[in-house]
Amino acid sequence: MKKWYGFMVAVLFMSLITACGGGTSASGSSKTTSGGNGQYGIYTFYETIEDLRDYTFLDGYVMRKQGAGCWKDFEKSEGVYDFSGMDAVIKEIAPTGKKLSFLITNAASREPVYIASHSGVTTYSYNDHETGEFVTRAVPWDAYQLERFEAFAKALANHEIDGVAFKNHPTVANIALGIPGINQGYRSREVQFKDMPGYDREKFRDAIIKSLHIAVDNMPDKNHYLGAWKEKDDIASPELGDYLAQEIISEFGSKIMFWNENLAAKIVSGVVSGSPKCDFASPLCNSKDKTPIGFQMLQGWICPFANPDATSGGATPSDGIQYAYDTFNAQYFEVYMCDLDNSAYWEGLQKWHDKLEPD
C-alpha cells in the first residue's frame, strides 16, 4: 500500500509551553513510500527563539507566535497588513536549516473585525465554549469575506522576507490558511453548519473549495493541509464530512493533507489500543489511500491534560504513531514538546523519522 510523505511531528501551542520530559521504536512491517505533497519529518511549535532545538530528528517548526497567528493579527484594518511577527520567526529559523509550517490558528473571531460588521455580510453568532466570548462571524460562503480572504492570501504570498517572496521562501514548507468563518478546517462547534443562515450542502462545498483554491493557487509550490472532520447535516448519505473530503480530493487530488487533533494510544494488558477509530475519523480513514493524512496528538504522554487514561499504561508517542501509520496511512504527526524533550523517546522518534524519510 502506498504511503505519502506527509509525516510531520509538531507540538500543540499552549499559553505556556512546558518542557517536560520519555520511547518505543518504529516496529512492524515496512511500507512503501510514494511521492505525495506532504512534508515528512518532525516539527515542533515555535513561539520564541527559546523553542529552537537541535535534535537530529527535528525537521522544523509550526509557527504559533502570539500576536502573529490569526488573519486578524496580520490585517489590522482593511487592506493594511503587518507581517513583522511572521518575518521575525522566519528570520530566526532560516539560519538553522529547519523548515516552517505556517498555520492560521482556529481561534474564534480569527477574521479581521471589519468583515462581520461590513454592510450586507451574512453572519452567525455564538458563545465560544473555550473563552466564553460572544462571537459574531461571517458565514463561510459570504462573498465579501471570500473576497477579502483572497486579498489577504495574495498579500501574504507576495510579501517579501529579505527579498524573497513568502510563496517562494525555502524555509516555508507547509501552509494551513483554513476556511474563513469556521474553525479547524471544517469542524462545527457551538453552531452546526446546517443551522447557519442560508446553509445548503452545495453552497458550503463551494465555499470550502474556493477557500482552498485561494490558498493553493496563490502558493502553488507549498504543501497545504486542512482539518477534515466527521460532520452531519440533513442529508443522511454520504455524511457531510465524508462528502466534503471526497469533493476536495476530486478537485485537488493529493494536494491537500487531511488532519485531526486527537491521536492517542495506551497499553492495556500488554496490547496497544489506539484512537480515534475509523468511525470517528471517517473522512481520514476513507481517504487514506488518496491523499496524505496527519494527526496532532491528543495530549502529551508525559504531560497529559485532556484524558490521562488515553495515553496510559506505559505507552509512548511512537505507539501512537504506529497506530496511525497502520490504520490511516498517516505520516504527519504533531507531538507535544514535553514528549519531544524527553530523552527516553528520542530513539523511537529518530527511528520513525528515518523510516518515513524518502530515499
- Assess whether 241 and 271 both reside in one domain: no
The grid coordinates of residue 60 equal 522544523
Give the span between the Cα atoms of 260 and 277, in whole angstroms.
12
DSSP 3-state of 329: coil
Which helix (H) or strand (E) segment is 334 a member of?
strand 332-334
- Assess whether 58 and 93 both reside in one domain: no
* Section 78-92 average pLDDT: 96
CA 311-44-249 angle, to 5 degrees, is 85
Q: How far is CA 55 from the centre of its chain?
A: 22
Model confidence over 34-84: pLDDT tens digits?
223 346 777 888 889 999 999 998 888 888 887 778 899 999 999 999 999
What distances in angstroms separate CA 273 from CA 27, 310, 311, one per listed residue? 15, 9, 9
What percentage of the chain has pLDDT greater than the value 90?
Answer: 70
Which residues have C-beta within 8 Å of that of residue 71, sequence separation ≥ 6?
Answer: 104, 110, 111, 112, 149, 152, 180
Interstrand relation of 160-161 and 75-77 (parallel, antiparallel or unpaired): unpaired
Model confidence over 271-297: pLDDT tens digits?
999 999 999 999 999 999 999 998 888
Residue 188 has pLDDT above 60, yes or no: yes
pTM of the predicted model as reported, rounded to 2 decimal places: 0.88
DSSP conformation letters of 202-215: HHHHHHHHHHHHHH
The identity of residue 138, as a single letter, is A
The domain boundary, picked from 228, 253, 278, lies at 253
- Assess whether 194 and 318 both reside in one domain: no
The domain boundary, picked from 233, 253, 273, lies at 253
The identity of residue 176, as a single letter, is A
Model confidence over 130-161: pLDDT tens digits?
778 899 999 999 999 999 999 999 999 999 99
Model confidence over 344-358: pLDDT tens digits?
999 999 999 888 787
Total number of domains in the chain: 2
Domain containing residue 49:
1-67+265-359
